[in-house]
Structures are given as C-alpha cells and as structure tokens.
Structure 1
Amino acid sequence: MNDPQRPFFLNGRWHLYHLYNADYPHGNGTSWAHATSTDLVHWRREGVAIDKYTNGLGDIQSGSAVVDTDNTAGFGAGAVVALVTQQDAGVQRQSVFSSTDGGQTFTAYSGNPVMDNPGSPDWRDPKVFRDEANGQWVMVLAEGHKLGIYTSPDLLHWTFRSDFARDDLGLLECPDLFPMQVQGETGTTWVLAASANGAAQGRTTGFAYWTGTWDGASFTATTPEPAWLDGGPDWYAAVTWDDPRRPASERLQHRQALGWLNNWEYADDVPTRGWSGGMLSTVRDLTLVREHGDLRLRSRPTAALTTLEDTPTRAQPRVFAGAAHALPQPEGAAYRLRIAARPDDRDPADRLVLRLGPGKGPGTGAGTTLTWDRKTGLLTLDRSHDAVAARMPAGYRTTRSIEVPTDALVLDVLVDAGSIEVYANGEQTLSALAFHAPGQISLEAPGGRIDLREFTVSRMR
C-alpha cells in the first residue's frame, strides 16, 4: 500500500481509500482499496473499489473523492465522484469514476480522460473540494515543481486559473488546499500544502505547507518559506479533512490528518514478511495557532485512540540522575507512553534520553531512542540501532530532530511493532517506521538530574 486518499463522511461512516497493489512484487500498478470507519480508529476492509487496467487508460493512482450533493456532474444527487490520475505508457491523465452505492463500487465515466496531459511528465494527484463561496469545484494538481489550480462547475470540465511554483522542494506530490480559523481569532486563513523534498533545508521528504489567502482563482502565501507538519522521516502523501457534522462555528477550527508511514528512499527495502509498502499513520487532530507572529498547524492524537488503551501503568514521580533507569514495561508491541519531565532546578541534566528496546548494538532490537537536549531545545529521533537498521540504506539511519524549546518536556508517544509517532508539548511531531523488540523502556539523565513528573504506559489493543 501507499498513498491514502482524503476520507469523506457518508451514511454514518467515514470512507477511506488508499493505493493498493495486490500483485506486488510480481506485477505493477495500483488500485483504490476501500476501508470504512465510524470513529477513524477501528477500520473495516471493504475490498477494491476502483480496479486497475479496466478502461484502457492505465492503473488508478492518487486523487480524491467528493460527495456531489447537488448533482453537478449528472450522476445523481449524492453520488460519490472520484477524480484520479491514470497513467498509461508513462502519460498521466485525470479521469472520473462515479459511485451510486455510497462509494462501494465505481463506474468509469464514458468521457475519460476529463483532463488530457498537456505534455508534462508529472501531472497528477488531483485534490478536489467544493468552494461554496464562489459556487465552484476547485482542483489542485501536482505538476512537477509547481501546483496547478483549476476550477469547474460540474467536476467534468476544468479551467486552469493559476499556479504556485517552487524550485527548491523537489517533485511536489499529493497537494491540498483548505480553509481554517486561527485559534482565538475570527476570519478565515487558507492553507496550501504538498508532499515535498526538504533536502535543501536539511530535511527528508514530508508535508510542507503555507498559510495565506484564496480569492477563488489563486492562492497567495503570506511568507515564501514553508512550514513542515512533521519532523520525522516517514509522514508523507498526507491528506487532511474536516468533519461535516460539526456546527459551522466549529468546522473551521478543527481538521484531521493522516499520512503514509514510509519514505521512497527505502520503501522497497523494508524487510517485512506478509505485507509491504509501509502503513498508514494514526489519525491526528489539527488546529491552527499563532505563535510569535507565525501561523502553525499543531497536532494531537485523535481522541478516539483512547478506546484502544488498557488501564495505564504508572511510575511514581521522582528525581533521578545518570545511567538508565528502568520504567514500567508494556505488554506487547503496541503501547502508548505519556511522559512529563523537566531538568532538576538545582542540578539540571544536559539531556533526557528515552530508550525503547533491550540493547544498544545494531540488530539487537534496541529500537528507537529519543533524546531531548536542554541547551539546544532539540528532540532527536534515532532508530539507527533498531532490528532492521543494519540492512537498510543510510537514510534510514539518519537522525531527525524537531525544536522543542521549553523548560519542561511533555511527550505523548504511540508505539507499534513497526512504527513510532511522537507528539511533543502539543506542538511538534516525529513519525517514523521503527522496528524494535517489545519492552525495556528506560530513561537516562546525563550530566545531572531530571525531575520525572509523570510516566504512564498503556497497552494498545
């Protein structure tokens, strides 16, 4: 599996599609697999909704599905309309598929492709939304080093309106454009996003975004430099959406997101059996906040994740120093850690080191190490000694950091058998594939003492 497609809510359920190649590694091409959920945590597989190589235009790549409430496309009021990229002989085009059974099965539109390629080698991933203020559908399309913006009255006929170009973020993919309201403020701010390559900024690939304004035809960024929603190596091809059940006064204040946990630098090298291609992240809740004059998206694990947690095991608050101190151990490979700590006022440690796993050598299953440096404010994720790192390309073993400049550290850490998602101080996140043996959680406090205010671990069912 790879890219998720933005979920939509219909008939009491969320509908999520993702790219899926049942023939890997012996055959190529992706279909849209379908899953449904009532809470964005428990998912039911619904099979393949749009199969590949059925209409002579190639396989089914990324795009988006919308509910056409007013029957603008002519497939019926409430029809689900999917706009997808199809690629044949290396040429990418945009096609329409429609569903009149709630998104379970789709029929190819007889007029496909609805957008023919103008000669671009990269012309894909249509992200479509309804712009009610201007009475139109809007599409953002990934076109190499720029994002093209198009509008349509009916989802079938599209007119180019503007573009947003960058020459320093590599190949742009999986774009997004959406409105939000800044916490504690009135008015609407627009967010333009894309999965991009942050190598020029010392990053890997990830979800870059800009805040600005939308006039119905073009997006204008407030500042040229993008922000990044996740500092880890493996949160890519992400999608965001809002909840249509919320009151209008709340709908713009909250948004949700999930991404593909993998990286094209080593996606084909992950040594797993029985599955391949990475996995989807857990769903996170987004808010837009103003910090020191800048607008930033902030993430928290979606609240419904607590329904998977067993009763937590707690450690007594204490001050400790020096070498590793063992903490309560989780049962099984999937668990959630919550930690609140700060350097001791009288003898502050230089760093706080959280180790997940039994050893320190390559291949021992030592898993992931999180290190917070008090002086630099950096929280660093290191998986270079996990169970697979020695066999992986160098990019897998590269450490990744986020800035958490604070006197106190609050971590919410979701661990699974093949992944880790770190939420730091309700501000920054680090998400990564990681393969570590269960158990043996420890904390270290080099160069001084750490005041551990809270520690809980909960098995995740």
Structure 2
Amino acid sequence: MVSAHTDVPRDFPYPATNYQEDNRGQFHFSTRGGWMNDVNAPLYYRGVYHLYYQHNPFSLVWDTMHWGHATSTDLVHWTQQPIALDPHVHPGDLWSGGGVVDTENASGLKNGDDDPIVVYSGTNGVTVFYSLDGGNTFTTYADGKKVVTPGGTSRDPKVFWDPVSKHWGMVVWSDEGGNGVNFYTSTNLLDWTFASRYRADWLFECPNMIRMPIDGGYRWLLHGGSGEYQIGEWDGTAFHTDWTGPQKINQTDTYAGSGYYAALNFSNLPNDRVVSMAWQGENKGSIWTGNATFPVDFTLHHTDDGLRVFSTPVPELATLRESTRTWESLTVEDDVQQLPAGTTYELEATVDVREARKFSLRVGREVVYDAEQETLDGAKLRTVDGKIKLQLLVDRDQLDVFGNDGAVYQSYNIRSAEPELVAEGRIHLDTLTIHRLRSIWR
C-alpha cells in the first residue's frame, strides 16, 4: 500500500527578467531568480529533456533546498518550469539525487498513460518521490520512509540500470570508514538490498555510475562530485577496477562552487548516448546565482595513457550559430592578433605549433598552450602531426574549453573580452573559425 503526499509546490514570485543582465550566460542555463547549484536527476522522456537542480528560490545564497525544474526539446533552449520538490510539501532534506524513467513499471506505481518517473533524494538515508504526469509534479513514496540508510554521513543517491543482471543499482556517497560509496540493488526501484562498498579517498559526494560503450562492449564509469573518475567493471553487485588512482573529467581545479562540479548524465537516452551537465558556481548577478555547464557528450577513447573519457559539446549547439567567419592558412609570429567576435561565440582552430614556444587565446582569461610541455592550461594535450585542435565556447562570463576533440575539457568563470591570439614563436593556423551564437532566451 502506497501512502502519499499529494500537495503541489507553491508558485514563487520570481523577479521579472529578460535574461539580459550584464553577465548572465546566453546559452548556459540559469534559473530565473534565486540560487542554483548541483544538477539533479537529468532525464529524457517522450522527446523532452528534464533538468532538475538544487535551488533556493528565496535568496542568492545556499539555503532551504528545493528542486528546480527546466525542460528542453533540444538540450539547448531551456524553459523553466514550476518547482518540482518543495521542503514545505515533500519531507526530508531535498539535497542532490538522481532519477530514472520506469518504462517497464517495475515499481508498480503506474496509474495512467505516463510511465512513472522516480527520483531519489535525502541525507543520511534515501527518500523516494515519483511522478505520474511526465515529471512535472511529484508524490512522496510511503510517507517519506528511508529506503536505504547507509552508515556515517551519507547523501546524493544515483540510480542506474544494469541490463546484464536485469537489476537496478543505486550508488550513494558515505563517509563510513572514510570516503567511498555504497551500492544497493533492486528489482522494483523501491525495495533495496545492500550489495557492496567501494572505498576511495578521492570519491567525495555526488557519485555517478554510467555504462558506456567501447570496442563493441561496455565499461563502467564511476565518478564523484569533483569529476575525478575511474573506469572498471560492474558485476551486478560491485565495482571493480585495476586503476590505482583517478583521472579527471574536467581538467581544472574543481570543487563545490567552482567552474565545474556535481555532474550527472541524462538517464533514458537512446542509442547509448551519454550527455552530462554540471554546476558552474561562480557566475552571479543581481537576481540569480549559479548556472549549469553547457551539455557535453561523454565517450570513451583509447589513448597513449590508457582508456579515457572525452567530452565534446553536444552537436545541437550548431542551432545557435547565426553568423560564421573563417580564416585559412594564417601565420602569426611573436605577435598579437585581434579577433572580432562579440561576447557570445564559438571558436574553432587547428594550430600547427612546431615552431612555437607558446600561444594563447585571451578571452577574458588567457587560455595558454605550452608547445614545449604539450599542455593546455596545465593539462596534457599532445600534438598530432605537430598540431592541436581547440574549441572554445565563450558565453559572456562562462568559458568552456575543449582540446583535440574532447581529450581535454575545462570550464571557467571569466569576465569576457574581445578575443586576442598571442604567439610566442611562430604558429600556423590551418583554419580559424568564429561562430557568433544567438541567445537561447529570445
């Protein structure tokens, strides 16, 4: 017997906005007003992408966590929806968590045409909420009882499907005995059995488990809030890896409130696609604080250093291009070149650096490639036939940097400026392309 809270969250009097405040991103999602942090339970259902997120509608600082909600049909243009989870209506600490679409009605909760959407939240124990109207409103399952209660301090449950064991898995961060995660399994999304614990000092809060295709098979990616990750195997009850340490998805100084934190991937995507978004915390203005990173596709690739996660902006970005200018066979030697671009644009370049010491792109932050060390802002980026490829997304005060088709991925908060290209030594650009990008808010 399922008992439920059926109240609907209150509407909030957000300040009026046209999203044109001075430093608000024009193609990175931000909430109309109030505070935003971690991405929660991103999922895809019947042609609509749902993005939930940690949200305080009352203030520009963290407090009184709600789950905000936005939807999109293309991962680019977002519409803010009413609050999804409200602590005055839904019991417990509504901190970060994940969610899934129950397409087979394993939970038995279905009551109508829509598949149940089941989400998980809570601290020091996991609470379940479910939607029967396509993810718009949520009911509390079993009066908010904890379906699992890990030892120590715990939070941030994420649920995933294992098609081999045909069980659902849940990963929850806990500090019992040190940082690590507990794994649980279920056949119905409601009753969970402890399966194993994976202990790792680097694995602090906001864990995620993703099944990813590679070489005609699959591997499992386990990552934490700061984007550190390991790749291994899931045997239906436990995660196994021969890695001795983690790598990083986003090769910057990542921490809560930085340019990249608490990423999650969209569940229920077709064709093994893995799309991820994270919290970008330092951007703020008169009526809002925080935004989401631009969505990226995750893929696995073999490299000289082993198997790695590559990140590339979703190709739907191209729908925002409103004008394009391309330069070919451009040489710059010990000089500075101005690049007309505006404040919202995409820059793509293929650069021959064999005769260079360094070169940089000044875009409100200096993005530096050290040709002698083969590093991009400190992250290893090897040349291919003496060349590197760069892609920059500049969105007023947000910057995403991609090197060699996603081998390096970096996110920053900046104060944007007209771009300049600076060469120490001689560089040759096979191509340099700048796409001006239109606002998603218009």
TM-score range, shorter chain: 0.7 to 0.9
Change (3 A) 1:9 1:241: closer
Please give the alpha-carbon distance, in whole angstroms, between the structure 1 residues aligned to 2:80 and 2:192.
Answer: 33
* 1:303 is aligned to 2:315: yes
> Structure 2 length as normaliser, TM-score?
0.83
Per-residue deviation at 1:271? 5.9
CA offsets per residue over residues 214-234 of structure 1, 9 Å max, x none? 110001012121111111232
Q: What is aligned with 1:272?
A: 285
Percent of paired sites with the same residue: 31
Please list, as runs of the form range in 1=range in 2, the aligned pairs for 1:36-435 lying within 5 A after superposition.
Answer: 36-57=71-92, 59-76=93-110, 78-85=115-122, 87=123, 92-115=124-147, 117-121=149-153, 123-144=154-175, 145-167=179-201, 169=202, 172-182=204-214, 185-195=215-225, 206-233=226-253, 234-241=259-266, 244-246=269-271, 251=272, 254-262=273-281, 267=282, 272-276=285-289, 278-292=290-304, 294-327=306-339, 329-331=340-342, 333-343=343-353, 348-356=355-363, 367-380=364-377, 401-406=378-383, 407-426=386-405, 427-435=407-415
Is 1:243–1:255's contact at 8 Å kept on the other side of the alignment?
no
* 1:19 is aligned to 2:30: no
CA offsets per residue over residues 9-36 of structure 1, 9 Å max, x none? 2122111111110112478211111111
SS, match of residue 164 in structure 2: helix
Of 398, 417, 427 in structure 2, the residue corresponding to residue 450 of structure 1 is 427
Please give the alpha-carbon distance, in whole angstroms, between the structure 2 residues aligned to 1:11 and 1:213.
Answer: 30
Over the aligned positions, Cα root-mean-square deviation in angstroms equals: 1.9
CA offsets per residue over residues 357-392 of structure 1, 9 Å max, x none? xxxxxxxxxx21011111101111xxxxxxxxxxxx
> Structure 1 length as normaliser, TM-score?
0.80
In structure 1, list runs of 5 or more residues that go unmatched: 196-205, 357-366, 381-400
Is 2:150–2:182's contact at 8 Å kept on the other side of the alignment?
no
Q: What is aligned with 1:200?
A: none
SS, match of residue 334 in structure 2: strand
SS, match of residue 307 in structure 1: helix
Is 1:72–1:154's contact at 8 Å kept on the other side of the alignment?
yes
Per-residue deviation at 1:119? 4.8
Bigger relative contact order, structure 1 or 2 (CA pairs below 8 A, ≥6 apart): 2
Write the letter of the residue equivalent to 1:151: T
In structure 2, list runs of 5 or more residues that go unmatched: 1-35, 254-258
| Higher mean C-alpha displacement, 424-433 vs 104-113 | 104-113
Is 2:125–2:150's contact at 8 Å kept on the other side of the alignment?
no
Change (3 A) 1:158 1:445: same
Per-residue deviation at 1:318? 2.1
